Chain A
C-alpha cells in the first residue's frame, strides 16, 4: 500500500513518541545519576537542567572512591560522611560476580538446551508430548515457592554462596524456556537436511554439530540474549542464596539502608548495569539475522 507523505510523518512521530515513553525512565535514571545530591532532592520539583553534572556517583560505585574522600574534595561538607563505610558502595566486585554468573548460566543453559531441543525436535519417544508439557510446567512455579527448599539443599550440598550454585539455579530457571524456544528453531530446519547429512556419511553428532547447529545460530543468539538478561537482572534467588557474592541487583538493594536511600549510587549503578547487557546484545546481534535457513529450502 502506498502511503502519503503525511501518513509517513504521522507514523514516524508516533514511533518516536512510543520510544520516548519507554526511554523516559531510563533517561531519568541516567540523568539522576549525574546529579549532585542537592538536585536529586529538590523540594521545588523535578530537576531536568540547570545543575552541575557530577561524576561522583560513578566514582564511588565504579571506581571505589570512598565518599569520605569525595567529601574532603568538596571541603567542609563532611556531615554526610559519617554513615557508610569506606567501600561499601564500591560495586566493581558485584559487576564481576553478575558477569560470571550471567555468562556461566547462559553458557550452561545453551549447552543443555540445544542438545535437549534437538532431540525433542528430531527424535520420537513415548510420552514426548507429556515430557514437553512437563518442561513447560516448570515455569508455572514462582521462584519464591522454590527458594526455601533450595536454600536448604544448597546448604547441605555446599553450594550456598558459590558461583556454581547461582549458575545452576539460573540455568534451572532458564532451561524450560530455552529448550522450547530452541526446539521451535530446530523444527524450522527440515528433517531432510539431517537425512541428507546422514546419507552423506555424517554421524548423528556430526549432523548436529556441523549441519543443524550452524543453521539455528540465529535462534541460539536470541535465546542467549534472553537467558543473559534474566540472569543479569534476577534478584530474589540471588538474594537468598548468597551472602559474600553480591550480584548487581542485590548490591543495589543494599543501597537502601535503614537511615537513607542512596539514590545517587542506585541510579549510577543501575545505569551502568544496563551497559553489559547492551554490549552482549550488540555482540550477538549480528547472528540475529532472520532467515538464516533461507536457501536450504525451496523458495
Chain B
C-alpha cells in the first residue's frame, strides 16, 4: 500500500494540451474517485499513473518513489479496464494466474492465491470456464481478481461498471467498496457517474477540461460546491439556479431576479449590484402555505416512490423540488416553494465561484 503524489503534471498530445499542471495527493489506503464529464482527462490521468501513457512534464510518485519513467509492471499497480480486457483464450484461473506465472511463482502459491481471490469474488465455481462463458458481472469480477492476486500497492479502475446494467452496477458498487474495506489498498477510481462517486469515494476529485475543480469528501462537495460547475454536476435532479442581482431591501440583503426577491442569509459575502446565481437544491425547496415562498406553476409531477419530483416554472426559469412526503399535486396548479435559508448557495455570475466560502 502506498500514497500517490502527483505534482504539476502536464500532458500534451502534439499541440493539444489535455492536462495542464495538475496536483493531487492521495493518501495511503484512500478510495479516491476522479469524477468528471467525458473527455475531461480522467482516463489520461489514470493511465499516466499506470505508466501506460508518457507524462509530458511533472512528477508522479507512488509511495516515495518517483515512477515517471518506470515500466507499468515495475510500478506495482493493478488496473481494471472499462472493457475488462480479459485474455479470451485463457480460463478464469489462467487469467488470474497470468501475472504470477510470468513471475515464475511456484504452482502451489499460484493455486492458493487464485483460490483466495476467487473465493472473495465468488468465482470459485467458474475457474475452469472461459471469459465468453461468463456473464458481464462475472467478467468484471475476473478483471478484479486479476488485479487483486498481485497484491498491488495501488488499484486503478477506469469506469469499470459502465458496461453493466443498472441493477448489477449497484451490486458491484457495493462489492468494490467492500473489497476496499477488506484490503485497504489505495484506490483511484474513474467514473463519470456522480452516484458512483458519491457512494464509493472517501475523496472525490471533480475534474473539468484537464483541471481539478474541487477536491473533498462526498458530502462536503455536495453541501459546499466550490463553483457553479461542481454545483450543477453533482446532485440529481440538478441544483436550481436562479440568476439575479444583489440588492438591499428593508435592511436585508436579497437577490432580485426578474420575478421576485429572494432573501439572503445575513453575512453573505456579497456587495450590492453584484450579479449572482442563487442556487438551491431541489430537496431544500419545500412547499409552504399560500402567501409565503416562491409561487411557481407545476408543469410535471414525477413520483419515484420514496420521493416526488415536482417540476415547475417560475417565469422563464424551470425549477425543481423534491418532496419526501406524499402530497396531492397536479400539473397546472400553483405551488408555493420556500428555500431553506441555510442551504442557499451563492455563486458569482462572472467567475462562477462560490461566494460564501467563508461560511461552513
Contact = CB atoms under 8 A, between A and B. Distances in A.
A298 B84 contact: yes
Interface string B325-351: 000000000000000000000000000
Interface string B71-111: 11100011101111111110000000011001100000000
A196 to B, nearest CB: 4
A214 B130 CA distance: 14
Given A295-B131, A295-B132, A295-B133, A198 B72 contact: yes
Interface in B48-89: 50-52, 71-73, 77-79, 81-89
B84 A296 contact: yes
Contacts of A198: 52, 71-73
Contact of A200 (B89, B102, B130, B134): B102
Nearest to B152: A199
Contact of A298 (B73, B83, B133): B83
B98 A200 contact: yes
B88 A196 contact: no
A199 B72 contact: yes
Interface residues of B, number: 32
B11 interface: no
A217 B88 CA distance: 11
B86 A295 contact: yes
A137 B84 CA distance: 37
Given A200-B99, A295-B133, A299-B136, A195 B52 contact: yes
Q: Interface centre among B77, B81, B131, by most A CB within 10 Å? A: B81
A192 interface: yes
Interface residues of A, number: 25
Contact of B85 (A195, A214, A294): A195
Interface string B137-158: 0010000001000100000000
B163 interface: yes
B333 to A, nearest CB: 45
A190 interface: yes
A47 interface: no
Given A195-B79, A196-B79, A295-B139, A201 B87 contact: no
Contacts of A297: 83-86
Contacts of B99: 200-201
A121 interface: no
Contact of A199 (B79, B89, B131): B79
B81 A195 contact: yes
Q: Interface centre among B89, B99, B131, B150, by most A CB within 10 Å? A: B89
Q: Interface centre among B51, B88, B150, B163, by most A CB within 10 Å? A: B88
A282 interface: no
A199 B163 CA distance: 22
B322 to A, nearest CB: 33
B98 A197 contact: yes
A202 B102 contact: yes
A211 interface: yes
A295 B135 CA distance: 9
Contacts of B130: 295
Contact of B163 (A202, A214, A299): A299
Interface in A213-242: 214-215, 217
B81 A211 contact: no
Contacts of B98: 197, 200, 202
Contacts of B132: 291, 294-295
B81 A201 contact: no
A296 B78 CA distance: 17
Given A196-B79, A199-B78, A201-B102, A296 B85 contact: yes
A197 B87 contact: yes
A72 interface: no
Interface in A253-299: 291-299
Given A196-B79, A199-B73, A215 B88 contact: yes
Contacts of A217: 89
Given A198-B52, A201-B103, A202-B102, A192 B85 contact: yes
Q: Interface centre among A197, A291, A292, A296, by most B CB within 10 Å? A: A296
A206 interface: yes
Contacts of A294: 88, 132
A193 interface: yes
A113 B344 CA distance: 65
Contacts of B88: 215, 292-296
Those 4 A-B pairs whose CB atoms lie nearest each other, nearest first: A295-B132, A295-B131, A296-B88, A192-B85
Interface of B: 50-52, 71-73, 77-79, 81-89, 98-99, 102-103, 130-134, 136, 139, 146, 150, 163
18 contacts: A192-B82, A192-B85, A193-B87, A195-B52, A196-B85, A198-B73, A199-B50, A199-B72, A199-B79, A200-B102, A201-B73, A201-B103, A211-B87, A214-B89, A217-B89, A295-B131, A295-B139, A298-B136
Given A198-B73, A296-B86, 14 more contacts: A192-B82, A192-B83, A193-B86, A196-B87, A197-B87, A197-B98, A200-B73, A214-B89, A215-B87, A292-B89, A295-B139, A297-B84, A298-B163, A299-B136
